[in-house]
Amino acid sequence: MDGKDLVQVVVDLPLPGTFSYLTQSPVMGGARVCVPFGNRRVCGVVVAPIPGEGVSQIDAAKLRCIETVLDGLPPLPEEFLALVDFAAGYYHHPLGPTLFTALPTGLREPRDVRRVDQRPFALTAAGLAEAPPARQRARLALWQALQDGPLRLEQAKAVTPQAGKLLADWLAEDKAERITPERPPLVLGEAPALNAEQRAALDALCSSQGFQPWLLHGVTGSGKTEVYLQLIAGHLAARRQVLVLVPEINLTPQLINRFLERFPGSRIVVQHSHLAEGERMHGWLDAWHGDADVVIGTRLSVFTPLPRLGLIVVDEEHDGSFKQQDGLRYHARDLAVWRARRAGISIVLGSATPCLETVANVEAGRYRKLVLSQRAHGAARLPDVRLVDTRRRQLVEGLAEGVVEALKTRLARREMSLVFINRRGFAPVVACTACGWTSGCPHCSAKLVVHLLERKLRCHHCGWEEPVPRACPDCGDPDIKPLGEGTQRLEAALQRMLPEARVLRIDRDTTSRKDAWDEVYRKVNGGEVDILVGTQMLAKGHDFGTLSLVTVLGADGGLYSADFRASERLFSQLMQVAGRAGRAEAPGEVLVQTQWPDHPLYQALVAHDFDGYAASLLAERRQAGFPPSVFQALLRADSPELAQATAFLKQARALLEPLAEGVLISGPAPALMARLAQRERAQLVLEAVQRGALHRLLSQLQPLLDPLARQHGRSLRWSLDVDPQEL
């Protein structure tokens, strides 16, 4: 091929495999390139050939040349490529789309990017030796200014507007150079003295060597963040970089302020999807070039290259937002653990309510646990949790009298309350109010979901269907109904019953605007709010200062749900919202309205017994054969017609069954959210006790399913979800 090299390139298009291109001169792996593709020009990245993903047909006559090597930046670092490679393999997602998902959008375009070099200029010995002639006034002025010491470009431009051109010439002639200024020593803001538990945790973390995942299990307000900050200080003093993953963009402002106060001279880079494109990219580039000390960000920041990485912190590690729910369905916490292993460093997973996967990893000895059992601040205590039995009380529009009274008391005392309405996220199960019977599947350990319109109960695990019974099959009571009904009108009822209260509602809609949270905090801190009303969003780690009462409505819907994770999630959410109550002078109070006050979940909540309840949930999962005791993947399909999605999955199952050694395949069954954006969704559940067995099957999937999907035409889409968080 007339002395030209052949390289493999992945492109920014939703296509699997690599593509062969010719180059005039050798191009390094990781280089960004601009390549012709069809009648377009797209951005590509040069990679090693991938075994199994196939190489586009090499027909020498048809091979095309790389158009440009985008060399304003060095090739993407090996660390980044290795992580992307792992993610593509683990999630069985094509390498190209994985790689481009991991890049900031600014680097996905086929144009060159240059990093603004901020380093100051200084004269070299050669430059110093040769004074410009007096008639070149600008040149001489700049030369004289540089005699006094290095200048940054803006400073040089203040001497003469021609500085840019002059300095570029001098750099080329070796008369000037860029110098890296001495970094000032680390400056630390004021920090409180740690309590004994925090001290013990910090000591353990500081003496940790090599790869080690740690669970920092601390009750809400126990000072986990303070432990991170003091741990991070040590890494920054040693000039190492730190990656901090947080669940929500909304949480970052509070946290970033704490970081800025603690590390005033350090460069802290923020990474999340709401940043302006240029800002995100420049932060990413600074991190990659070692100029950022701390990267704080949401799940996508797990891909940020950090050459001096010394520590990873995942705050609120149980949070569902670490899992991406479309495209590359990665879990940032899990990728972060992989990254820590590869870098041979510690990773700290912090939570008041760690997820069961993490608890199981601690039990198995893979992760080490540190406990903070007390609130850190002054005399702050955990709140008193009380259950309000709604079976024996008069309800007015769904609200128990005791709850309304408690709200009125706080209102009179001018204290702020929070009303948590558990509304979304649980598929309804039918239950008998007389004996407690709930609808279980006769064929597997899942709960049946009620579909009221069709009057059907349906299993979303194995696909079983039956009619909704007219009366309880156990005791004959006709009063059976879906759990968690009736939360819709609670909010309106509140306003009617407490018309003088200033109510602030917090949900996806009211907080989607960019600065909505600033507004929430301003109102809350300014004493403009009596009652905060909200749904799941309030269960996140927000700090609203002095809440003395938290009331929980509609929680029962999560007790018996078709999603086996529902009780874990509900428990975690309730512990988290309960954690919003309480302050130094008086313990907070939490009131939970329920028809099932004896349920172990509520009993554990009253006793603040996370460990006990988590252990019982884990035992249940093991018995039922659910994760984390097995590994799952979902093969999802969606189409405008449910029949088509189901037919595709049936055929897929027939193809996979003979290969499924050590893997149990169930379904097709409709997804819990069966209809989304005008499309019907169904799935197969693939489960295995051995992770390896599952992945062996998954790696054979694509070549079998692509041709099958093509027979169904464009209306059918399929995708794979490894370690799914939602059924």
Between CA 389 and CA 400 the distance in angstroms is 9
Q: How far is the CB of 575 from ligand ADP (least distance, A)?
A: 12
Between CA 429 and CA 558 the distance in angstroms is 9
Among 56, 124, 162, 195, binds ligand ADP (CB under 6 A): 195
Closest CA to 417 of 549, 558, 238: 549
SS3 243: strand
Which residue carries 């440009």 as its tokens? 68
Residue 126 interacts with, from Zn ion, ligand ADP, none (CB under 5-8 Å by kind) = none
The DSSP line for 436-464 is: --B-B-SSSSSBEEEETTTTEEEETTT--
Between CA 513 and CA 399 the distance in angstroms is 31
Helix 163-172 to helix 137-147 angle, to the nearest 10 degrees? 70
User: Residues 347 to 406: which contact ligand ADP by CB under 6 A?
Assistant: 376-377
CA 243 to chain centre: 13
Stretch that binds ligand ADP, among 108-116, 214-222, 234-242, 363-371 (CB under 6 A): 214-222
Q: 613 with 600: CB under 8 angstroms?
A: yes
Between CA 685 and CA 666 the distance in angstroms is 5
Site for ligand ADP contains 226 (CB under 6 A):
yes
Among 211, 338, 464, 544, binds Zn ion (CB under 5 A): 464
Site for Zn ion contains 466 (CB under 5 A):
no
For residue 441, say whether it is annotated as part of any ligand binding site. yes
Stretch that binds ligand ADP, among 213-221, 265-273, 613-621, 711-719 (CB under 6 A): 213-221
Site for ligand ADP contains 317 (CB under 6 A):
no
Residue 434 interacts with, from ligand ADP, Zn ion, none (CB under 5-8 Å by kind) = Zn ion
Radius of gyration (C-alpha) of the chain in whole angstroms: 29
Of 246 and 429, nearer to ligand ADP (C-beta) is 246
Number of Cβ within 10 Å of residue 37's Cβ equals 19
Residue 441 interacts with, from Zn ion, ligand ADP, none (CB under 5-8 Å by kind) = Zn ion
Residue 492 interacts with, from Zn ion, ligand ADP, none (CB under 5-8 Å by kind) = none
Site for ligand ADP contains 20 (CB under 6 A):
no
Residue 586 interacts with, from Zn ion, ligand ADP, none (CB under 5-8 Å by kind) = none
Site for ligand ADP contains 96 (CB under 6 A):
no
For residue 43, say whether it is annotated as part of any ligand binding site. no
Binding-site size, Zn ion (CB under 5 A): 16
Closest CA to 283 of 258, 310, 256: 256
SS3 416: strand
Among 18, 20, 212, 225, binds ligand ADP (CB under 6 A): 225
Residue 192 interacts with, from Zn ion, ligand ADP, none (CB under 5-8 Å by kind) = ligand ADP
Residue 461 interacts with, from Zn ion, ligand ADP, none (CB under 5-8 Å by kind) = Zn ion
Stretch that binds ligand ADP, among 191-199, 455-463, 636-644, 667-675 (CB under 6 A): 191-199
Query: Rounded to whole angstroms, what are the CA distances from 206 to 224, 226, 346, 598?
Result: 15, 14, 9, 43
Q: How far is the CB of 544 from ligand ADP (least distance, A)?
A: 12
Of 553 and 577, nearer to ligand ADP (C-beta) is 577
Among 32, 93, 175, 224, binds ligand ADP (CB under 6 A): 224
Of 475 and 659, nearer to Zn ion (C-beta) is 475
Among 239, 443, 522, 622, binds Zn ion (CB under 5 A): 443
Question: Residue 340: which H helix or E strand, with range?
Answer: helix 332-343
Of 151 and 313, nearer to ligand ADP (C-beta) is 313
Among 95, 300, 340, 459, binds Zn ion (CB under 5 A): 459
For residue 65, say whether it is annotated as part of any ligand binding site. no
Q: 387 with 352: CB under 8 angstroms?
A: no
Of 189 and 307, nearer to ligand ADP (C-beta) is 189
Stretch that binds ligand ADP, among 20-28, 217-225, 331-339, 708-716 (CB under 6 A): 217-225
Among 198, 208, 572, 683, binds ligand ADP (CB under 6 A): 198
> Which own/partner pairs from 601-609 qualify as long-range (CB within 8 Å, at least 24 positions apart)?
601/559, 601/567, 601/570, 601/571, 601/574, 602/387, 604/571, 605/385, 605/571, 605/574, 605/575, 605/578, 606/385, 606/386, 606/387, 608/219, 608/382, 608/385, 608/575
Of 212 and 683, nearer to Zn ion (C-beta) is 683
Site for ligand ADP contains 547 (CB under 6 A):
no
Question: Residue 717: which H helix or E strand, with range?
Answer: strand 717-722
Going along 336-455, which residue ranges are E strands?
346-351, 368-372, 384-389, 395-396, 399-400, 416-421, 430-432, 448-451
Q: How far is the CB of 635 from Zn ion (least distance, A)?
A: 17
Closest CA to 220 of 597, 504, 559, 544: 544
Stretch that binds ligand ADP, among 77-85, 93-101, 222-230, 401-409 (CB under 6 A): 222-230
Between CA 515 and CA 517 the distance in angstroms is 6
Of 200 and 503, nearer to ligand ADP (C-beta) is 200
The DSSP line for 50-74 is: PTTT-B----GGG--B--EEETTSP
Q: Taking the alpha carbons of 495, 497, 502, 507 in that order, is the dihedral positive or negative?
A: negative
Binding-site size, ligand ADP (CB under 6 A): 15
Q: How far is the CB of 373 from ligand ADP (least distance, A)?
A: 11
Among 223, 297, 558, 588, binds ligand ADP (CB under 6 A): 223
Which residue carries 């790869």 as its tokens? 211
Q: Which phi-psi region, left, alpha or beta, contains residue 413 (left: φ > 0; alpha: ψ -120 to 50)? A: alpha
Residue 472 interacts with, from Zn ion, ligand ADP, none (CB under 5-8 Å by kind) = Zn ion
Q: Report H helices in 160-237.
A: 163-172, 196-206, 224-237
Where do contacts with ligand ADP occur on this chain (CB under 6 A)?
A: 192-195, 198, 218, 220-226, 376-377
Where do contacts with Zn ion occur on this chain (CB under 5 A)?
A: 432, 434-435, 437, 441, 443-444, 446, 459, 461-462, 464, 472, 474-475, 477
- Binding residue ranges for Zn(2+): 432, 435, 441, 444, 459, 462, 472, 475
- Binding residue ranges: 432, 435, 441, 444, 459, 462, 472, 475
